[in-house]
Amino acid sequence: MAEKKWMPRWFYQLASPRWCYGITGKLLPIFAPLALALLLGGTVWALLFAPADYQQGNSFRIIYIHVPSAILAQSCYMLMAIAGAIGLIWKMKVADMVAKSCAPIGASMALLALATGAIWGKPTWGSWWVWDARLTSMLILLFLYFGIMALHAAIEDATTAAQSTAVLALVGLVNIPIIKYSVEWWNTLHQPATFKLTERPAMPAEMWVPLLVMVLGFYCFFAVTLMLRLRHEILGRERRSGWVRELVEQR
Amino acid sequence: MSEMATNKPATQDRRRPGTFRAALKRDLLLAFRNRRDLVNPLVFFLMVATLFPLGVSPEPTFLAELAPGLVWVAALLATLLSMDSLFRADYEDGTLEQALLSPQPLILVVLARVTAHWVMTGLPLTLMAPLLGLMLFLPSEGMPGLMLSLLLGTPTLSLIGAIGAALTVGLRKGGMLISLLVLPLYIPVLIFGSGAVQAAVTGLPLAGYLALLGAMLALGLVLAPLAIAAALRISVSG
């Protein structure tokens, strides 16, 4: 029996849609106010109190949307691929649903990062778009999200759709290191990474602390939207099971 | 485990190289019997290359500048177009199910299929590319770069495209969807492929581009068959 214990118990419990619906219901009231507070606080701090950049003036403040959305677009892809792999290996329905719920959120984050980047690029680089390694790899990420969503929509059977998109997501995973290192491998116009685990950020603390708050706020916001989508997905797929009927009758 | 019972391990080991050879022979034979399918991507390749001078500008200096990218885009689209039929006939007549059920490793069968596809499309495209280069006034210094980059790049295109074909084989309208799934993954190959031709035209060293194309091919050869086999199992059983 000892060899069966290498996975913690909560991992198996997460596999049950009913348990997962319950735990997300408890987590939502924690994450939703946290996301709201962090995003509101971070935005006010970033727009009103952070000092202006000595070269770019106030136009640099779009970094407080651009960087968090770009980070999130990549994390979301990672989560989608990992959840897809878990679904493929352990045939876990909830993992499939997490992967499915990730795709539209990630696509909108990638779109937001590209749009804010274009708005930022106009005053600083003088053009909306350059065919730069970082920008192109980010555009590929957006296309990958579109492809995954299209494949999901094309396959009727939910299990087959989840497995097929998981394979595609795993194949597309090669793009993530390319995005990450594009600013180091190629001579690009795009500046290098803002946050690194090993070094202190290149900007002063008054600038990067609100950015960190915004990044955390985006992550909390992502958690909230993911849980909402997941709960919706669970109810849709489990609509024939007893506990969902009971839940509906209680309302 | 049932396959272990029917095949003795010793004979199975001796048979493994045979699986690839037999599957390749079958696929090539089938392809040669349907020569029409062999010609279609080549004609498409030629026609796309004709569209650009007529649609954009017939000016030789202008076309020479665009030629590396145009030939590569045309080759990419021709490969993409031939992808939809990669597994379809086998899927419809049940051969694919037999391959999935057989004790032979599916990866080898799939690799043979992709190799046959490349021999029937990628290789002829590579051999025909200098003709397109001439039509688009590509300087003669660029020709070796064009052929070498296509020789290394088109197998990668076949391997990546086969993943898309395997994912969509069970669907009625797979054609459009394959493009959506596969084109984002084709972009890196296109960038380094046309980059190599451009470098050859301007006299810069080619080795870096070719090494990257070779690295992508090596990665694709090792990992893509796994993905193709997994995708086929999902598509056929689902």
Is residue B119 within 8 A of residue B37, CB to CB? The reply is: no
The interface predicted TM-score (ipTM) is 0.82
Going by the DSSP 8-state scheme, the letter that residue A62 receives in this structure is: G
Nearest CA in chain B to A162: B234
Question: By three-state DSSP, how is residue A57 classified?
Answer: strand
Going by the DSSP 8-state scheme, the letter that residue B154 receives in this structure is: H
Q: Do B231 and A167 touch (CB under 8 A)?
A: yes
Strand partners, A57: A53
Nearest CA to B81 out of B133, B148, B158, B26 is that of B158
Q: Do B183 and A143 touch (CB under 8 A)?
A: yes
Is residue A159 within 8 A of residue A100, CB to CB? The reply is: no
The helix (H) or strand (E) run that includes residue A42 is helix A17-44
Assigned token pair, B68: 């590396």
Contacts of A88 in chain B (CB under 8 A): 230
Q: Do A170 and B187 touch (CB under 8 A)?
A: no
Nearest CB among A157, A167, A178 relative to B230 is that of A167
pLDDT of res. A6: 67
Minimal C-alpha gap between A144 and chain B (Å): 6
Nearest CB among A147, A159, A172 relative to B180 is that of A147
Is residue A135 within 8 A of residue A89, CB to CB? The reply is: no
Torsion of Cα atoms, B20 then B26 then B32 then B36, to 10°: -100
CA distances (Å), A170 to each of A21, A77, A83, A97, A148, in order?
26, 10, 10, 16, 11
- Is A178 within 8 Å of chain B by CB? yes
Return residues 159-198 of B near A (CB < 8 Å). 163, 167-168, 170-171, 173, 177, 180-181, 183-185, 187-188, 191
Question: By three-state DSSP, how is residue A100 classified?
Answer: helix
Strand partners, A53: A57
Nearest CA to B159 out of B114, B205, B101 is that of B114
Domain spans of chain B, in order of start: 2-237
Nearest CB among A147, A160, A175 relative to B181 is that of A147
**Centroid of chain to Cα A23:** 20
- Is B231 within 8 Å of chain A by CB? yes
Contacts of A147 in chain B (CB under 8 A): 180-181, 184
- Is A182 within 8 Å of chain B by CB? no
Minimal C-alpha gap between B145 and chain A (Å): 22
Is residue A99 within 8 A of residue A144, CB to CB? The reply is: no
Minimal C-alpha gap between B167 and chain A (Å): 6
- Is B154 within 8 Å of chain A by CB? no
pLDDT of res. B2: 44
Amino acid at B226: L
Assigned token pair, B170: 């069970």
Residue that the structure tokens 């003795």 belong to? B8
- pLDDT, mean of residues A3-31: 81
Chain B interface disruption, residue of A136, A164, A174, most B CBs within 10 A: A164
The band of A1, judged by pLDDT with boundaries at 50, 70 and 90, is very low
Contacts of B187 in chain A (CB under 8 A): 136, 140
pLDDT of res. A193: 72
Going by the DSSP 8-state scheme, the letter that residue A49 receives in this structure is: I
Counts of helices then strands in chain B (DSSP H, E) = 11, 0
Is residue B99 within 8 A of residue B109, CB to CB? The reply is: yes
**pLDDT tens for each residue of A167-224:** 999 999 988 888 888 777 776 677 777 776 666 677 777 788 889 999 999 999 999 9
Nearest CA in chain B to A147: B181
**pLDDT tens for each residue of A80-105:** 999 999 999 888 889 999 999 999 99
- Is A160 within 8 Å of chain B by CB? yes
Amino acid at A138: M
Contacts (Cβ under 8 Å, ≥6 apart) of A18: A238, A241, A243
Residue that the structure tokens 């897809």 belong to? A84
pLDDT of res. B175: 76
pLDDT of res. B4: 44
- Is A177 within 8 Å of chain B by CB? no
Question: How many residues in total does chain B contain?
Answer: 238
Q: Low-confidence residues of chain B, pLDDT below 70?
A: 1-17, 238
pLDDT of res. B238: 67
Considering chain A, what is the average pLDDT of its residues?
Answer: 87
Q: Do A150 and B238 touch (CB under 8 A)?
A: no
Residue that the structure tokens 């379809």 belong to? B88
Return residues 77-136 of B near A (CB < 8 Å). none
Q: Do B238 and A160 touch (CB under 8 A)?
A: yes
pLDDT of res. A248: 85
Nearest CA to B27 out of B121, B104, B127 is that of B121
**pLDDT tens for each residue of A47-61:** 888 887 777 778 888
pLDDT of res. A129: 86
Q: Do A167 and B227 touch (CB under 8 A)?
A: yes
Contacts (Cβ under 8 Å, ≥6 apart) of B55: none
Is residue A96 within 8 A of residue A160, CB to CB? The reply is: no
Contacts of B188 in chain A (CB under 8 A): 178
Amino acid at A17: P
Rounded CA-CA distance B39/A219 in Å is 53
Nearest CA to B49 out of B123, B125, B121, B119 is that of B125
Q: Do A150 and B227 touch (CB under 8 A)?
A: no
